[in-house]
Amino acid sequence: MSLTTVLSRQNATQDTQSISSSATKALGWAALVGFAILVVLAFAWVPADTRITDQGDVVGQFDAVRLMFVHVPSAILAYTGFGITFLASLGYLRWRTDWWDIMAASAAEIGVIFGVLTLVTGSIWGRPTWQTWWEWGDVRLVTTLVMVLVFIGYLAVRRIPANAAVKARRSVVIALVGAANIVIVNRSVDWWENRTLHQQSTLLARKIRDETLFTLTFAFVVGATLFGWLLLHRFRVGYLERQITEQEVQKAIAERQAESAAHDTGSLTQASNPTGQIQPQSKTSP
């Protein structure tokens, strides 16, 4: 998505007073229908993971492999969310506009949702296949956990009421340092005990059945659609929140100026405001 399309979308949201549009509704329906199809594909179409060894034993992950269709896309989308937060934080540092701040916040929230989903499904999947709920030596597990914790902290800081600019700057620092931290944690866990249980890129090695591969790809598409839908909506909620705040502030300024005028016995109120940039406004409802 190029910067210009992003910016034109920003203008589009200014016109609408709703968090949805026909485009996002279509996106939402697509995600919903896609998910329904995914459920059918994952449970009915894809066979259970079984292999017969040379000795004639039946091995494999059996039905547990179906968790892959939730786990793998949500892991990638969680990292995508945190990646967007990181980039949007850099964007805020450079351009200092609300747009980047709201984008960073929205992506972080969705990233945390997908991150938690990744950890939970991974843990459930790990029990039958690795015989453990959790493996401390696994780099990806520990890195993802720490990352989710860092961004939970990020959201906690965002919840603290403060001037929008102050909040935005605090958040930028946590997001950027947090991103650097993820790299450090990843490296240190890797050195600490590199005994990863994760399978190495089965996708690229083509060791995967065609049905499974198709369903996994489809799951990516559905997940990405859901992600986009959530992000657009969350962004618009944030954007409208700012607009309401701005309207409230304008109203408060008008009231305060009226208060000042009431104190002013003379007729020189206008003269005290020669630039005329802020005039008492008519009290329209927000």
Partner 1 sequence: MLREMRLVALKDLRIETRVRVGITQILPFALAVLVLFAFALDTDQQALRTYAPGLFWVTVLLAALLAIGRSFAVDLADGITDRLLLSGIEPQAAFFGKAAAIAIQLVVLEVLLGFGVVLLFDVTVYRYGLLVSAGLVAALGLAAAGTLYGALVAGLGVRESLLPLLVLPVTAPVLIGATRAFQDAFGVAGAQGWAWLGLLVGFAAIYGVFGALSYGILLEEA
Partner 2 sequence: MRQAVRLRAAVTLLGRFPALAGVDLDIDPGEVVVVKGQNGAGKTTLLRLCAGLCSLASGSGEILGHDLSTQRRQVRQRVALMGHTTGLYDDLTVAENVAFWGGAVGATSQEMHSALETLELSGRLVNLRAGNLSSGQRRRASFATLLVRRPELWLLDEPHAGLDHRSRNIVNNLVQSAAQAGATVMMASHELECMQTLQPRVVSLAGGMLTTQPAGIQPAGIQPAGIQPVTTQPVTVQPIPTHPTKEAGTHVA
**Is residue 6 part of the contact set for partner 2 (CB under 8 A)?**
no
- Give yes or no for a contact between 98 and 242, defined as CB atoms under 8 angstroms apart: yes
What's the CA gap between 100 and 169, in Å, rounded? 11
Encode 125-161: b = buried (16+ Cβ within 10 Å), e = exposed: bbeebeeeeebeebbbbbbbbbbbebbeebeeebeee
**Is residue 97 part of the contact set for partner 2 (CB under 8 A)?**
no
What's the CA gap between 111 and 174, in Å, rounded? 15
**Is residue 271 part of the contact set for partner 2 (CB under 8 A)?**
yes
Among 133, 207, 272, 286, binds partner 2 (CB under 8 A): 272
Q: Which is nearer to partner 2, 2 or 265 (CB)?
A: 265
Helices 210-263 and 3-15, interaxial angle, to 10°?
Answer: 50
Q: Which is nearer to partner 1, 186 or 281 (CB)?
A: 186
**Is residue 128 part of the contact set for partner 1 (CB under 8 A)?**
no
Partner whose footprint covers residue 105, from partner 1, partner 2, none (CB < 5 to 8 Å by kind): none
Binding string, 140-179, against partner 1, x = CB under 8 A?
------x--xx-xx--xx--x----xx--xx-xxx-xxx-
- Give yes or no for a contact between 164 and 101, defined as CB atoms under 8 angstroms apart: yes
> Token pair 């996106």 is at which residue?
27
Q: Which is nearer to partner 2, 56 or 276 (CB)?
A: 276
- Closest contact distance (angstroms) between CB of 153 and partner 1 is 5
Cα angle 198, 199, 200; round to 5: 115
- Give yes or no for a contact between 182 and 147, defined as CB atoms under 8 angstroms apart: yes
Partner whose footprint covers residue 157, from partner 2, partner 1, none (CB < 5 to 8 Å by kind): partner 1
Stretch 78-97 residues interacting with partner 1 (CB under 8 A): 93
- Closest contact distance (angstroms) between CB of 189 and partner 2 is 40
Q: How many residues bind partner 2 (CB under 8 A)?
A: 30
Encode 71-90: b = buried (16+ Cβ within 10 Å), e = exposed: bbbbbbbbbbbbebbbbbbb
What's the CA gap between 174 and 121, in Å, rounded? 27
**Is residue 36 part of the contact set for partner 1 (CB under 8 A)?**
no
Cα angle 140, 108, 95; round to 5: 120
Binding string, 146-185, against partner 2, x = CB under 8 A?
---------------x-x-x--------------------
**Is residue 248 part of the contact set for partner 2 (CB under 8 A)?**
yes
The one-character DSSP state at 131 is S
Question: Which residues are at the interface with partner 2 (CB under 8 A)?
Answer: 161, 163, 165, 245, 248-249, 252-253, 256-269, 271-278
- By the criterion CB under 8 A, which residues form the site for partner 1? 93, 146, 149-150, 152-153, 156-157, 160, 165-166, 169-170, 172-174, 176-178, 180-181, 184-185, 187-189, 191-192
